[in-house]
Structures are given as C-alpha cells and as structure tokens.
Amino acid sequence: MKPPAIVILGAGALDTARRIQSLYAGSQVHALQGRAQADVAYSEFGAHLRDLYARGTPIVALCAAGIVIRSIAPLLADKGVEPPVLAVAEDGSAVVPLLGGLAGVNVMAREMAAALAVAPAITTSGELRFGTCVLNPPDGYALADIGQGKRFVSDLLAGESTRIEGDAPWLDDAPLPRSASARLAIRVTPRAWDGRQDELVIHPRCVVVAVTGASADASTETAARLAARVRGVLDAHGLAPLSLAALLASSAQVTNAVLAEAASALNVPLRFADGEDDEDGEDGADSPASLLHAALRIPFETVHDDPQERIALALSPLALDPATIGRARGKLTVIGLGPGNAELMVPAARAALDEATDILGYETYVKMAGPLRATQRVHGTDNREEMQRARHAFELASAGRSVVMVSSGDPGVFAMAAAVLEALDTTQDAAQNAAWSAVELGIVPGVSAAMATAAQAGAPLGHDFCMLSLSDNLKPWAIIEKRLHHAAQADLVMAFYNPISRARPWQLDKALDIVREYRAAQTPVVLGRDIGRPGGTLRTVTLGELRPADVDMRTMVIVGSSTTRCFSKGAQWVYTPRWYE
Ligand code: SAH
C-alpha cells in the first residue's frame, strides 16, 4: 500500500499527525500553508484532498469528517480505485474510517486507534461481526469475484454459517459462524471459480509459470501473445489467472523487454533463475522445467512441462511470496532530491525511493530522502568516495536489489549520475561487465540549486546562462580560469556551484577578479544559501560589493549578465530579460 498523506489544517493537529506518521514509513504530514510547518505544504484544502484521492493516495485528514466528505464528494460518483480515507479528531480522540473498505481502511483505523489508545469508529457490519474483513484477504491471496463476495457476506450477516475448504490461516481466529454442513463455503483454491453463488472463492498465489526462448523482438504484440500463452496454459489446467504468483525466465534474458511487458500484462512480478542446460533443447538453452527447479525453494508439482512450447507450470501447496522465487532484475535509479524540501522533489524520485531495497548516498542527503522504512538498507558514505560508491551501487543492483543513489538537486549536475555512468563505461572485468549491463539503470532529474535559487529571486536565468563548478578537485584551476574568461566575455549569466570551501579558500576571489574585468560593479549577484532547507536565506548584492566571506559551500552564486536587473514592486525581484539589443 502507498504510504498515507496525513493532512492537517493547523498546528494544533501536528502532535497527533506525527504520532500517526510514526506508524507508516514513507508517510508525510501535509500542512496548510501559513498555518503550520510540516513535510509538505498545500494551499487549498479541498483541491489538495481531491488531488490526493484521484492519485489513489490513502488520506488521513485531521479534521471534521464532514469537511472531508464534502471535499471529495464530487469524485465519489466515479467508480474507480478507492483509497482508504479516514477522519481523525485533531486531539487523537476519534478515528473514523470513511471510504476504502476494500483497500484496508478498517485495518488502518484499528492500527491508528491502537496507537492513540481509543476505539476506532468501525461501521462495517461484516468487520464488526466477524472481526476481520472476509473480503480483504492478506497479501498472497486474491478474491475471485467481489460481487459474489458482497452477496456472501450479506448471507453470513443474515445468520448463515460457512464451511472453510482449503487453507485460510488468517481466518483461524476470526469469530465466523462455522459449520461443517453449512450451505455456504469459503474455498481457498487456485482453481478458477465455477460461478457457484454459495462459495466465496479466494485464490492463493501459488502458481509459477516459466518460459524460455522469449522473442527479443520487442513489440506490444509479441508481449500480448506471450501473456495469452501463459493464460492459455493456466486455463488448460483449470487454474485461475489470479493464482499466478510470478512469471519466471532465464537470467540470460534479464534485459528482454517482451518478458517485462508480458509480466506487467499478467500483473505479476518477473523473476529470473539460472537453469541447467537442456541437452535435448534445440538451442541448448535453459529448459523451463529446470528454471522452476532452480527458482523454487519449496516442494511443488510440475503440472505442465512442454519443452517444445518452452513453457512449464509449477503448482505449490501454499501461497508464494514472489520475493522468494529466483531473483529480480536488479535496478539502479540515480535520483535528484531537489534543493531540500519534499515539495520540490519530483514524484518519480519519491516513487523510486519508496520501492528501493537499498539507498546509497552522502549521509546528509540520505537523511533528506527520509522517512524510510526500517527494512530499507541505508549505505551512507563520505562524500568524497564517489567512484567507489557508484561501483558499490552496481554490485548491489546486479545481485537483484532495487537500489537508489541519491544526489541533491539534479543528479546530472556536478553529482552522482556521471560517476555511475563512468563506473559502467570503464569496468574492464568481463563478468562485471555482463552483470552490470543487465541492471535496469535509470536517472530521475531533480530541481538543481541554480533553478531553485533563481526561482526565489525571480528569473535571473531568463536568458542564456552557464553553470560552472569552481571546485578544482577534479579539474585543473587553469581550465576554470579559461572558462570564466570566456563565459564573462560571452555575457552569459553564471551560476557558480561549489564556490568555496575550507580546502579551497582563495579560488572564489580569483574568479570574481576575472568576472570583474568584463562586468560592471553594479551587476546584480544572487546568493542563495540552503535554499529549500530550514534556515535558508536569499540575498541580492552587487558584483562590486560581493566578498568571499558572504559565501560558503552551501551557497549558490548567480552572477548577472549586462542586462540582468533588479526592481522592487511588492517584493524585491531580479530578472534577465528575454531579449537582447
Ligand atoms: N547536484 C547538485 C549540485 C551539487 S554541487 C544540484 O544540482 O543542485 C554542490 C553545490 O551546489 C554547493 O556547493 C552549492 O553551491 C550548491 N547547492 C546545493 N544545494 C544547495 C542549496 N540547497 N542552496 C544553495 N546552494 C546549493
């Protein structure tokens, strides 16, 4: 489940909000701008709630239930995915589940109420009577038909008893009215539902289909054909598509896009294993049955094995956790956090963080990326060992982990994306080359410090500009001087990254001397320090008055061009016009 958005209207609710937040890793507190400071600021309550709801984000609103209902009412007519929505009294004295019964709202209500030491206001009859939602089986199980499920629960509520056929360990302690001779039955089976109205059918995800020799010709059509073949084999054995736990393929095909698309069409994870060479196989490739043997660590029955058609099917007596089947394709995503506050991080970066198993980066940034789940491994390192960190990321990813490398701002601007690509580009070892190349590598952009600072100041980058790092750690100082001359001469606005540090005390002064040869003393200079972070400051000075003491390594320095100007209307603004004379 996605972590919930905990939405508050004022500072009075912050304590309760933080207590609820501690229950859900990755959750954030959203506060009305100007009323309270939290993780995310919003400006209009109703619009914000509707936006969250439309994205399927679970909502915990610390305000009157009526306000919540009225806010999302316009969206309720559309039947779509309904995320859990709860209203919680701001002092924590009441927890009211409102929507999302099938998405686990009552489970959340119970969790929060337990933490707040109150009784949840549960109104779902089935839940109240049977202590659990029969229609909401745990991970690893899927309800065959929700319409049938609702009828079934009404029958139970009307006083009927039920039998339980098959293994339903989560119902062991539920106070369900049971009887061995009951007309109604809860049936836990991988077999397809036959339409019988007096049975509630729940499918354990206990089937794995292995395929080999998938075409490398990536097209939606080939993927659809493969998915159809898998469904066909399930159907031939009377098995429900919902009982499929994973699609399994050979590690040699880890980069095959057809397999990935077919798995996503089947709505199951794609896993990989190294089978044994099949001596009879035409191309000597892994046989599908050998993949099943290599990937499954529990007893199972091979129900279907067709080496000719290159497909085999395993049935296990128990629901399977896909994470235990073979291994996943490793993933490495290099993300930018933006300047600091959560609102300026792009949603794709947040999504990558949420699904990561391992997070790497400079400790300060890893902290900015939180809150993380206790199960996520953090590999914090000193900022300087960048190549070593990049290699470590590939090691983890090529072992099947889902790795996120964090940078501040944009990962491609004086940050980790280039180091990661350099590590991949320059690895010489053949085995490493193969393993690292198979990793699903992606880079997610972020709001760079120059953009974040410029936006606060106005639009100093409104015309041609350049970004320069003044650090001579990785390039000779002579190159920096040369670029400064050229950039100043070309009348580009200049954004200085890494302007100064204890180890590089004199460089900024020298850089400013060069710029002053070309630019007037009145040229505006924007200084953004810790932009988007607590205690951030923004100042505009002139090139003439700027001193290195005004700048430290947490400062972004934007030096204007000959046309950059300042004015004060409502606030102080700096901009560089779009035109030139
Ligand atoms: N990848 C980062 C830049 C890393 S270089 C980005 O795209 O923003 C580090 C330099 O960036 C710092 O020395 C400082 O000049 C600048 N910087 C990074 N974060 C900043 C912030 N929040 N406020 C001001 N400057 C920042």
% of the chain surpassing 90 pLDDT: 72
Q: Which residues pair with 4 in a beta bridge?
A: none
User: Which among 470, 494, 554, 558 is the best mutation to test ligand 1's pocket, defined by most ligand atoms within 8 Å of the CB?
Assistant: 554
The phi, psi pair for 35, rounded to 5°, reads -100, -35
Average pLDDT over residues 188-200: 91
pLDDT value of position 363: 84
350: its two tokens: 């947040």
CATH (one of 3.90.950.20, 3.30.300.30, 1.10.10.10, 3.30.950.10) for 450-575: 3.30.950.10
CA 479 to ligand 1 centroid distance, Å: 21
pTM of the model: 0.77
Q: Give the CATH number of domain 331-447.
A: 3.40.1010.10
Average pLDDT over residues 221-240: 95
Ligand 1 pocket, 362 CB below 6 A? no
Q: What pLDDT band is residue 285 in, cutting at 50, 70 and 90? A: low
CA 357 to ligand 1 centroid distance, Å: 27
Q: How far apart are CA 218 and CA 183, in angstroms?
A: 50
CA 408 to ligand 1 centroid distance, Å: 7
Ligand 1 pocket, 413 CB below 6 A? yes
DSSP 11: G
pLDDT value of position 370: 76
**C-alpha distance from residue 481 to each of 67, 418, 465, 523 (Å):** 60, 23, 17, 20
Average pLDDT over residues 433-438: 93
CA 470 to ligand 1 centroid distance, Å: 12
pLDDT value of position 29: 93
Residue 354 predicted with pLDDT over 60: yes
C-alpha closest to that of 38 among 8, 61, 68, 12: 8
Q: How far apart are CA 24 and CA 110, in angstroms?
A: 13
Q: At how many degrees (to 10) do helices 45-54 and 65-76 cross?
A: 50
Ligand 1 pocket, 341 CB below 6 A? no
Average pLDDT over residues 358-371: 86
Ligand 1 pocket, 295 CB below 6 A? no
Ligand 1 pocket, 190 CB below 6 A? no
Average pLDDT over residues 182-208: 93
Ligand 1 pocket, 553 CB below 6 A? yes
Q: How far apart are CA 326 and CA 318, in angstroms?
A: 17
Q: Are 38 and 8 in contact (CB under 8 A)?
A: yes
Within the chain, what is the greatest distance between any pair of CA atoms? 96
Ligand 1 pocket, 532 CB below 6 A? yes
Segment 26-54, tens digit of pLDDT: 889 999 999 998 888 899 999 999 999 98
Ligand 1 pocket, 193 CB below 6 A? no
CA 526 to ligand 1 centroid distance, Å: 14
Ligand 1 pocket, 386 CB below 6 A? no
The CA R_g of the chain, rounded to the nearest whole Å, is 29
Ligand 1 pocket, 414 CB below 6 A? yes
Interstrand relation of 571-575 and 565-569 (parallel, antiparallel or unpaired):
antiparallel
Atom of ligand 1 nearest to the CA of 533: 22
pLDDT value of position 393: 96
Q: How far apart are CA 5 and CA 370, in angstroms?
A: 15
194: its two tokens: 């036959």
Residue 121 predicted with pLDDT over 90: yes
% of the chain surpassing 70 pLDDT: 97
Ligand 1 pocket, 561 CB below 6 A? no
Residue 422 predicted with pLDDT over 90: yes
User: Would you kindly state where each structural domain of the chain is located, as residue ranges?
Assistant: 5-123, 141-204, 207-324, 331-447, 450-575
Average pLDDT over residues 548-553: 95
pLDDT value of position 277: 60
Ligand 1 pocket, 528 CB below 6 A? yes
CA 495 to ligand 1 centroid distance, Å: 10
* Nearest protein CA to atom 13 of ligand 1, as residue: 498
Average pLDDT over residues 327-345: 93
Ligand 1 pocket, 471 CB below 6 A? no
For residue 106, the one-letter residue type is: N
Rounded to the nearest angstrom, the gap between the alpha carbon of residue 266 and the centroid of all alpha carbons in its chain is 21
Residue 152 predicted with pLDDT over 80: yes
Q: What is the 3-state secondary structure (H, E, C) of 349-384?
A: HHHHHHHCCEEEEEHHHHHHHCCCCCCCEEEEECCC
Atom of ligand 1 nearest to the CA of 339: 22
Q: How many helices (H) and strands (E) does the chain have?
A: 17, 28
User: Which among 337, 414, 558 is the best mutation to test ligand 1's pocket, defined by most ligand atoms within 8 Å of the CB?
Assistant: 414
The CATH H-level (homologous superfamily) assignment of domain 207-324 is: CobE/GbiG C-terminal domain (3.30.420.180)
Do you find a cis peptide bond into 371, omega within 30 degrees of 0? yes
Atom of ligand 1 nearest to the CA of 553: 13
CA 497 to ligand 1 centroid distance, Å: 6
Q: What pLDDT band is residue 269 in, cutting at 50, 70 and 90? A: very high
Ligand 1 pocket, 445 CB below 6 A? no
Sign of the CA dihedral 547, 550, 555, 557? negative
Q: How far apart are CA 525 and CA 294, in angstroms?
A: 63
Q: Are 302 and 210 in contact (CB under 8 A)?
A: no
Q: What is the DSSP string of 277-332?
A: B-TTSTT-PBPHHHHHHHH--S--EEEEEETTTTEEEEE-SS---GGGSSBPPPEE
Residue 118 predicted with pLDDT over 90: yes
pLDDT value of position 284: 46
Q: What is the DSSP string of 464-489?
A: SEEEEE---SSS-HHHHHHHHHHHHH
User: Which among 367, 552, 556 is the best mutation to test ligand 1's pocket, defined by most ligand atoms within 8 Å of the CB?
Assistant: 556
Residues with Cβ within 8 Å of 106's Cβ and at least 6 positions away in sequence, in order, are: 97, 120, 122, 124, 127, 133
Ligand 1 pocket, 497 CB below 6 A? yes
Three-class secondary structure of residue 559 per DSSP:
strand
User: Which among 453, 461, 497, 552 is the best mutation to test ligand 1's pocket, defined by most ligand atoms within 8 Å of the CB?
Assistant: 497
Q: What angle do CA 48, 54, 56 make, to 5 degrees?
A: 105
Q: How far apart are CA 275 and CA 250, in angstroms?
A: 7
Exposure string for 283-320, b = 16+ CB within 10 A, e = fewer? eebbbbbbbbbbbbeeebeebbeebeebbbbbbbeebb
pLDDT value of position 364: 84
Ligand 1 pocket, 498 CB below 6 A? yes
Three-class secondary structure of residue 260 per DSSP:
helix
C-alpha closest to that of 465 among 477, 453, 456: 453
Sign of the CA dihedral 107, 112, 117, 121? negative
* Nearest protein CA to atom 20 of ligand 1, as residue: 449
C-alpha closest to that of 126 among 99, 96, 153: 153
Which range is least confidently modeled, 108-117, 360-369, 497-506? 360-369
Q: How far apart are CA 380 and CA 370, in angstroms?
A: 13
568: its two tokens: 């004060």
pLDDT value of position 173: 81
Q: What pLDDT band is residue 439 in, cutting at 50, 70 and 90? A: very high
Instruction: Establish how many alpha carbons lie within 13 A of residue 306's alpha carbon, considering only the half-sphere containing its beta carbon.
Output: 12
pLDDT value of position 197: 87
CATH (one of 3.90.650.10, 3.40.50.11220, 3.30.1510.10, 3.10.129.10) for 5-123: 3.40.50.11220
